[in-house]
Amino acid sequence: MRSRTFKSFTPDKLTVWDGAWSNGVPNARVNVQLKAAYDTSLYGSFNCRNLDIRANLIITADKRVVVHGTSVLQLSTATFTIDNGEFALLRKSVDVSQVKVTVKKSLPGVQRLDYWDIGSPISGKTVNQISPTTATGRFYEYGYNTANTNGALFPVPETTASLLAGKGYMVRVPNTISPDYNTTYISPAMTNAAFNAGQLATWNVVIQNVTGGGTLNSGVIVHTPVTQYSGTVIGKYYLISNPYTASISLSRFYQVNKHLTPYGSIWNRTNGSNGDAYAGFNQLENTHYGYPAGVLPPFLGLVIIFKDATAPDNKVIFTPDMMLRATNYNHTWIRLKYKQASINRPLSTAVYNADNFPQAVKYDNISSTTSGAGALNFVDPTGGYNLLKKTLGITNGTIISLLVKTFSVEDYTISLESFGGDFANYDVMLYDSDTGITTNLKTAAYTFTGAVGLVTDTRFQLKITN
């Protein structure tokens, strides 16, 4: 197949990669043509206007290729692989008809029989192609019908149903290593012995449209959660997923989807553990595997809740500008974990100077106390527990109480996982009234011994100082 040329190409608007850039490093106003193989792990990320792929392109972890124009061309002899990197198409309409791509995402810390809420950046393939070695009958959707008005997981006919852009699926981790696509789906192998020993592995999810149809998702995507229930959707839960090949800003997602409750959660439970099954996501930050700045990475799904019917037909809308990098909001992110954290996913929460976000989201169920999980939340002046703590600014000497729940007599650690914005100029001090110890969380973590059924919102306090 011969590659088309861009009508707008002129010498000063085109740079060609042939082992080096012919006309300087590209930017958002410059078209790019790849005549030699390009590996972002060797040559770095880049922005461009339109993209013409004539040689192999691979986008690796922590790297990003951003297309600001309306066209991506690809020769049939050129391979295109997104291997844990990000490919952002920022226009509302982009021609991706020639794009044949393999997209990979590594999900660490899983065990055999785990379930994850995931979706696909390629639509039109059958659902089982998102995880070909998952056991038959282990693909589900969440919805409602007349017999299940409170919601339930329903099996998906994975060999005939098509992957829908923006839809989330509950998928069980494969049991063993798969040779499909010449890649390892589970590493190391999830044998019975490994599972019984609590061994953790990495699930390498792969989807491609190189052969057998399927279209790379791009542009504005409108997803309508399917339900067999004729009653109201208000207050109902649905599984969605990031439909793109780049992380989306949850801040922008909730600004567009004002009819949704402005926080969500993701299911990523280690089978057989007594740790948390859900992790909280909101407009600024999240508690899932340390992904920063309130983003939802490719493939990952989200449990959303309709709060009202202000959007037509209760649709969920995804827009390309959600893939723009988020501002470095003022925030601190505190994590509480215990010694079994290598098995049970750590819990975390955060406090923010959230002046740009008027909601003070009350979210006291990032973990279930009935399942025996630990938890850590902030206490607002009225005694409510907030994941998003709305303040009027960072003030020297501000004191914030923590609600801490533990479930066993073992070591728990409170640590500062990240901070941003104005918090770079302040120390975050943790005071334990039982021991009288004050710890600067920017320089050290604090460890204490928990107890069965410990619940306290008076023992631990944060003090913001400069």
Q: Are 206 and 103 contacting, i.e. CB atoms less than 8 angstroms apart?
A: yes
Segment (H or E) for 150: strand 148-155
**CA–CA distance, 387 with 285 (Å, rounded to integer):** 9
Query: In this structure, what DSSP letter does residue 168 have?
Result: -
For the record, the structure tokens of 54 come out as: 């004539």
**How deeply is 137 buried, as exposed, middle or buried, from its count of CB atoms within 10 A (0-12, 13-18, 19+)?**
exposed
The predicted pLDDT at position 448 comes to 93
Give the CA angle between residues 217, 245, 5 to the nearest 5°.
65
The predicted pLDDT at position 457 comes to 85
Give the CA angle between residues 123, 128, 130 to the nearest 5°.
55
Residue indicated by tokens 């009958």: 137
Phi/psi of residue 166, each to 5°? 90, -5
Q: How many residues are recorded in the chain? A: 466
**Cβ count within 10 A of residue 169:** 24
Of 109, 92, 118, give the one whose Cα is nearest residue 323. 92
Residue 327, beta-bridge partner list: none
Task: Print pLDDT tens along the chain (466 aa).
Answer: 444 555 545 556 999 999 999 999 999 999 999 999 999 999 999 999 999 999 999 999 999 999 999 999 999 999 999 999 999 999 999 999 999 999 999 987 777 778 889 999 999 999 999 998 898 999 999 888 777 777 888 899 999 999 999 999 999 988 764 443 334 566 667 677 766 666 777 888 999 999 888 999 999 999 988 665 556 677 788 899 999 999 998 878 988 988 887 667 766 655 555 444 555 665 555 544 445 557 889 999 888 888 876 655 678 999 999 998 765 556 676 767 666 544 333 344 455 554 444 333 333 333 333 333 456 666 655 555 554 555 556 677 778 788 787 877 888 888 887 676 677 788 889 999 999 999 999 999 999 998 888 888 899 988 888 8
Query: In this structure, what DSSP letter does residue 325 have?
Result: P
The predicted pLDDT at position 347 comes to 43
Phi/psi of residue 361, each to 5°? -75, 120
CA distances from 36 to 20, 43, 326 (A): 9, 12, 32
CA distances from 229 to 142, 150, 161, 224, 340 (A): 12, 10, 20, 14, 41
Of 347, 63, 91, 356, give the one whose Cα is nearest residue 220. 91
Q: Are 421 and 330 contacting, i.e. CB atoms less than 8 angstroms apart?
A: yes
Segment (H or E) for 87: strand 86-89
For the record, the structure tokens of 425 come out as: 């100029």
Per-residue burial over 386-423, b = 16 or more CB atoms within 10 Å of its CB, e = otherwise: bbbbbbeebeeeeebbbbbbbbbeeebebbbbbbbebb
For the record, the structure tokens of 326 come out as: 């988020």
Residue 95, beta-bridge partner list: 71
**CA–CA distance, 90 with 391 (Å, rounded to integer):** 33
Q: Are 3 and 18 contacting, i.e. CB atoms less than 8 angstroms apart?
A: no
The predicted pLDDT at position 26 comes to 96
Query: In this structure, what DSSP letter does residue 270 have?
Result: P
**CA–CA distance, 462 with 410 (Å, rounded to integer):** 22
The predicted pLDDT at position 252 comes to 85
Of 144, 171, 173, give the one whose Cα is nearest residue 156. 171
The predicted pLDDT at position 454 comes to 85
**Pair type for strands 148-155 and 139-145:** antiparallel
